[in-house]
Structure 1
Amino acid sequence: MSRLENIGDIYHSETKYYRDRTSGGRLIFPDISIFYKTYPNAEFVELPEPDLPQVKSIWDVIQNRRSIRQYSQDSISINDLTILLWAIQGITAQRGDYSFRTSPSAGALYPIETYIMVKRVEGLDQGIYHYDVYKHRLEIIKKGDFGAELAHSALDQDMVDRSALTFVWTAVLARTKWKYRERAYRYIYM
């Protein structure tokens, strides 16, 4: 077996916790600005506050959840998009400069960034947008139809090109790595 065939096992083994390798002491927190990615020169679209629907029980949601591959060709409303963005990364509590979000995150460091490729969302032009979590708005990265390119990036899954919108997640490794070092990848993938 080549080294690349078992690289996951090697990484897992090399990043285990061992008592003699664990550093103690106080953590020195980085500048809070690293916790919020923004595109300061980008045009932006303000989002309405999410108008949250009446919630079903978690058990109903789990029992009725299904994966599908055929999607409606209808547009989605800006309110539905706002609800999805809030549910994915929305701020739920604020403590000074620090905020907590709807998504789980090791150490509440939130390395995941949310982008969307919009094809059919009421009130939005087609294009790539970044969700500015802190200001609850969309930053326009680039206008245009990028469905074919994104579908190709997703191993030629043409449903990506046909969807009303597609979520793309990236990670800012530094947000987690300053605290968890080589184990950062483990926690980002959780």
Structure 2
Amino acid sequence: MSALVYPEQTRFALREGVTCVTVPTGAVLLNPPHNEKLTGLGAAQVQALKSLNQGPATLSEMTVEDGVGELLDRLTDGGWLAVTVRDGGRDLYTIRPFAQAPARPAHVRTWSATLSKFAVVHRDSEGFVLEHPLAWCDLRIHDPRLLALLDGTGAADIDLPYSIKNQLTEDLLWCGFFVADPEDEDREFRTRSWSAPDLWFHRRSTLGPRTITWEHFGPTKWAKGTFPQPPARKTAYPGAPIALPVPDLTALRAQDPTLTAVLEDRYSCRAFDDNAPITAAELAELLYRAARTREVKPVGDDEELLSRPYPSGGGVYELEVYPIVRHADGVPAGMYHYDSFEHALRPVADLDSPAVQRLLKSTSATLADGALPQVVLVLAARSGRVMWTYEQVSYASMLKHVGVLMQTIYLAGTAMELGVCAQGFSDTAAFVTAAGVDELEECNVGSVIVGRPAPRG
């Protein structure tokens, strides 16, 4: 689509982050790591670039003479310009590039185009925005009437010129939000294997074309000075705690198998010996070795960081452990919260409560013959601990922390000759009910089954 045939009211603007430095016969577009030199420009073209430096402008406001339209074509097709299509004095949509644009596709039958399965429409503080994890731009929808055009069924009912509707479809194809053939994305394994949430999560939590700086990404501490940091220690459950014995770490240093031995001997245990269940002392040792709070580190007057045996980004340590004890020697059955500061179990819910039973039964698919676990350690994240510090990567960081905690439990359990089996799923709704928490403040992110392993044949 040429800038010369966009609607007359269309506004062009340098995309966010771009700086244009002009000289009498040329210019340089700066948007690290991408830069572009423009040479041999005429006076009207240089003046057009100066106008763009001042803010959005229509082609007629810059002049249609002396190659200005061709320059705008080049900059638009290169992804250097944000393009706001307007009609009747009203903004309809804006193409907002954040990377270099691909070549425009050859002409296709736009009536057969359909929305990509990876495209996401959501509302933010500016209104509706259409995004795609593999796209080079976002599409800001200013006029909600356009939303009906995205599924291709409401085009005839929208009071807009046909040329506008057709142009939007062509732009959606160019931007990557539409696919020419609805079956294209299911023909290849590389696209069929990804779900929209997985691909979107991957792209949103990593550096790449959309995010090339640390602004609003990573450990920005964006909430500091606006919201208090969620406390390092979770408010205690009201029941009387069960104090746990503290293992002798000095003796364990001398007696433990080597790191190589536990790495090589580690396996996922799916059969347990209920005739000789895990003991209170063993559960206490496993929790102490893997998940206790070793140190609280105040940072100024408004931050607390922690130290535990496993690593955690920024020292925030958002993970909490909830042992559900079905069958253990010396620990009454029930759901507990592990108080990692006092090394104690605090009662949370009865074993026979429906939500706890759901959490237990969700493990049966993991164990041999659909058995129930002796103990399952439900892992939860007090998400605000991470989200107070990190932008965009918060949930990805939580999942990484779950992984390192699971491995720490595996290795400590192997050293203790216990059986361990991590789960890749859990019942998040059951956890919220059983623990009595707000899912936006504390959510289930994993679980680990532990107990006495059955003899291996």
How far apart are residue 32 of structure 1 and its match? 6.6
Structure 2 runs not aligned, ≥5 long: 1-115, 119-193, 299-303, 401-457
Report matched runs for 1:89-108 at 5 Å.
89-96=291-298, 98-108=305-315
> Which digits, 9 at most, give the CA deviation of each residue in 1:122-167, with x for residues without a partner?
2221000000111111110112346752243347446685322111
Structure 2: distance between partners of 1:21 and 1:32 = 21
Which residue number corresponds to residue 399 of structure 2? 189
Q: State how far apart, in whole Å, the 1-side matches of 2:203 and 2:305 are.
A: 33
Counterpart residue number, 1:143:
350
**1:32 and 1:48 mapped to 2: Cα distance?**
32
With over 3 angstroms needed to count, the CA separation of the structure-2 counterparts of 1:21 and 1:100, relative to structure 1, is: closer
Partner Cα distance (1:26, 1:151) in 2: 38
- In the other structure, the counterpart of 2:231 is 34
SS of residue matched to 1:179: coil
1:134 matched to 2:338: no
**Stretch moving more, 11-20 or 83-92:** 11-20
The question of whether the paired residues in 1 share the 8 Å contact of 2:360 and 2:372 is answered with no
Per the alignment, do residues 102 and 141 of structure 1 end up closer, same or farther by CA in structure 2, a change over 3 Å counting?
same
C-alpha distance in 2, partners of 1:71/1:47?
A: 23
Max Rg structure: 2
Which residue matches 2:261?
A: 60
Q: Distance in 2 between matches of 1:152 and 1:184?
A: 29
Aligned to 1:22: 215
Q: Pairwise mapping of residues 68-79 of structure 1 onto structure 2 (< 5 A)? A: 68-73=269-274, 74-79=276-281
The change in CA–CA distance for 1:99 and 1:14 in structure 2 (over 3 A counts) is closer
The normalised TM-score by structure 2 is: 0.37
Contact 1:148 1:161 in 2 (8 A): no
**Per-residue CA shift, 1:4-39, capped at 9, x if unaligned?**
822221122223333445259984487576211133
| 1:60-101 CA distance string (max 9 Å, x none) | 111122222211112222111111111221123444564300
Contact kept? 1:151, 1:158, Cα under 8 Å:
no
Classify 1:118/1:182 alpha carbon distance in 2 versus 1 (closer, same or farther; 3 Å): same
- In structure 1, what is the equivalent of residue 197 of structure 2? 7
Deviations 1:33-60 (A, max 9, x none): 6211133422211111123432111001
Q: TM-score, normalised by structure 1?
A: 0.83
Return the structure number with greater relative CO, CA threshold 8 A, min gap 6. 1
The 1:68–1:41 alpha-carbon spacing in structure 2 relative to 1, beyond 3 Å, is closer
Alpha-carbon distance between aligned partners in 2 of 1:23 and 1:116, rounded to the nearest angstrom:
36
Deviation at 1:182, TM superposition (A): 2.1
2:220–2:389: 8 Å Cα contact kept in structure 1?
no
